[in-house]
Chains A and B, each alone.
Chain A
């Protein structure tokens, strides 16, 4: 395996007695697309800030591009692109100017920045908005501008904290397409998300994080294989009746009883549904689908990702 670009070993961040990140260990290879999947408050953003060399770790080891962020923060940050969870574009500047001022922070000559800014606006499909005010952009456009800004220094690693949080489906797909292109170009991507579909789309490998700890690690497919069945049958009996119905479902497959529905894990969802009906139950709705990372998370933590 090539030398990892990020190595975290027993990485810990505490705020007084509370451990936001509680001894996590992982490596990211160059060119890899690596994800941290977990619910809000799992410690993903804190991990990202430490990797971004802007938050001092409490204990453990962290190496980024062969450097220690405690010692060489500016040198590390010079080679990172950061897309934070909350947009922090300068709303007092126009779209293109945001790229120009940001490029200067990396010590790049003005001519180089100007050329890259135009290329990146094109990449982010914002060329026509170059002179627009930031506040006049849609949420998806702001995100794309933030990504373009993060690429101004041609970073070796791009850190994305919840890149599509709060965007509508169409805007998410445009963004995924752009990120996928970066991945194809060999940019190392590290992203956090609480959307399982996003993790499945973009990550070669991911860790499932909960309460500051890593619960599982692997490729999306491997995680699903390991921690869930091939298919899932979702049945609804009505809010008050799910609990009662679940008693009659024992033995068909592993059950997860949620407030609004029951999940039955089985390698053959249709056969499981036949069995449910055979037992004299009549679900209001039923759905057979493939297992997803959501199911993996539910299995590992007993909770859903989006609560």
Chain B
């Protein structure tokens, strides 16, 4: 029998979805924890900030005097939650697939390409962020933290913020041995970015020599973008455009770099 006479199975490009499907099936095993966390977290934070801290802070949250502290802080809290999901998947999720539970290596032996693996994972992160953000948003509405209908776009802003953390995934794809790099990343980069990102107080309250940290932080851009949708505009339109361009740009850069790094690593 000549090999050329047999039919070649179909090879399609849209196979990234199968990777997503795989991750969703995995997610079912820890779905309970995931949903409990996704519901519990917004309640905790909104009670703490909206019911607790809000009684203390009654002004200085921006140019619009009608905006309450709860409304000010809510878009940033949602963005933080989306970012946390992205950060978890972009760090441990990536290294898990390459090393601890090396499913990427198994996928690589099939018609799936490294690019499709990364695309599938990124799509999964979008889905996870969407679940978390939707639940967060619903709780925010219950608390009266979203004054306008356009506020629903806070979800998009938060997810863009998470996507902008994609360079972390590209970095994770280069780690051969876990020597606590993620903990260092968390303490030296992510935590300062979170503290100085105008999440629980406006960035302008900080002295100018600290504000640049916020300008670099995806969390600040995502929070400000969410605020524009929720009760804006509170800033010139060009700045809003910059938020979007910065978040999308950083995300696409990290995503493509991650494709390159994973492709290199899988082609030994």
Contacts and interface: CB of A to CB of B under 8 A. Distances in A.
B178 interface: no
Interface residues of A, number: 39
A244 interface: no
Nearest to B10: A107
B106 A89 contact: yes
B268 interface: yes
Given A2-B2, A91-B101, A107 B111 contact: yes
A90 B267 contact: no
Interface string A95-110: 0010011101111000
A75 B11 contact: yes
A90 B101 contact: yes
Interface string A36-75: 0000000000100100101110000000011000000111
B266 A104 contact: no
A79 interface: yes
B248 interface: no
Interface in B229-268: 266-268
B3 A77 contact: no
Contact of B111 (A52, A55, A89, A105): A105
A101 B25 contact: yes
Interface of A is mostly: loop
Contacts of B25: 93, 97, 100-101
Given A74-B113, A75-B111, A93-B26, A88 B105 contact: yes
B115 to A, nearest CB: 11
Contacts of B21: 101, 104
Contact of B267 (A55, A66, A77, A101): A55
Interface string B1-34: 1111010111110010010011001100100000
Given A56-B267, A89-B106, A105-B107, 17 more contacts: A3-B4, A30-B1, A54-B266, A55-B268, A66-B3, A75-B9, A75-B111, A78-B9, A78-B110, A84-B105, A84-B106, A88-B106, A93-B25, A102-B106, A105-B111, A107-B12, A156-B6
Interface of B: 1-4, 6, 8-12, 15, 18, 21-22, 25-26, 29, 101-103, 105-113, 266-268
